Chains A and B, each alone.
Chain A
Amino acid sequence: MTSPAKSSTQKPISLKASKTSVKKAVKKPLKKSANDIFAKADATLTREYIELVVEAMGRK
């Protein structure tokens, strides 16, 4: 039995892409918490900078 001839429009990469999508979908958390919005701030801001901003806001 011979395998069907591949059409010139076939794109093997699309199969790989869909596998990747499934993998990403499985890993994706079901719920995003409000804390996730602070991820960049938590990773980059120093305590000194935060206190400087709070002082400039006129808050304690």
Chain B
Amino acid sequence: MSLQKYLFDTNLFIERFRRTPKVVRLFDELSPGQVKLSVVSYLEFVRGEVGAGRTQDAKTMADTVGSFLIEPLTAEMGLYAGQKALKLKRVDMNDLAIAATTLKLKRTLVTFNTKDFVGFAGLRLITVDELLE
């Protein structure tokens, strides 16, 4: 399976931690080098684990996703996400930043929640089901 052109949304990793069978199946077909995520997704896991009371020595979920290839958020991506936030009147900057990263890198976002990304012209989305077909 060639996945060089994909970026994985945060919810893919959440479902993998939950051991959702189709996500486990998808990850089984991938090498670690084929899984790419936004640095924003990594920070979401750090925030979650800090919120859950974890310490520097025991942030297993963040360390796990941090082992994959992390795409940085550039100033250009940040500006695009900010403009979209104003235009769409949205404050959920994480999804906006992930969408901006996907667009600027010309990737396709693998996600469970396609409705989170309505309003992004040119943003290519694909679900796990579509990917496994």
Give the complex CA separation of A47 and B15 in angstroms: 12
A54 and B14: CB pair below 8 A?
yes
Does A45 sit within 8 A of B, measured CB to CB? yes
Q: How far is the CB of B95 from chain A (nearest CB, A)?
A: 10
Which residues does chain A contribute within 8 Å of B14, judged by CB atoms?
Answer: 50, 54, 57, 59
> A33 an interface residue at 8 Å Cβ cutoff?
yes
Q: Which of B10, B17, B29, B50 contacts A41 (CB 8 A)?
A: B17
Residue of A nearest to B11 (CB): A59
Determine if A26 is an interface residue (Cβ-Cβ < 8 Å).
Answer: no
A4 shortest CB reach to chain B, Å: 49
On chain A, the residues within 8 Å of B6 by CB distance are none
Helix, strand, loop or mixed for chain A's interface? helix
The interface size of chain A toward B, counting residues with CB under 8 Å, comes to: 24
- Does any Cβ of B come within 8 Å of A5's Cβ? no
Q: Are B16 and A38 in contact (CB under 8 A)?
A: yes
State the CA gap A32–B51 with chains docked (Å).
32
- Chain B contacts of A45 at CB under 8 A? 17, 60-61
Partner of A56, one of B30, B51, B68: B51
Contact assessment for B48 and A56 in the assembled complex, using a CB-CB cutoff below 8 Å:
yes
Q: How far is the CA of A35 from the CA of B30 in the complex (A)?
A: 8
Provide the residues of chain A in CB contact with B51, threshold 8 Å.
53, 55-57
A37 and B32 within 8 A (CB): yes
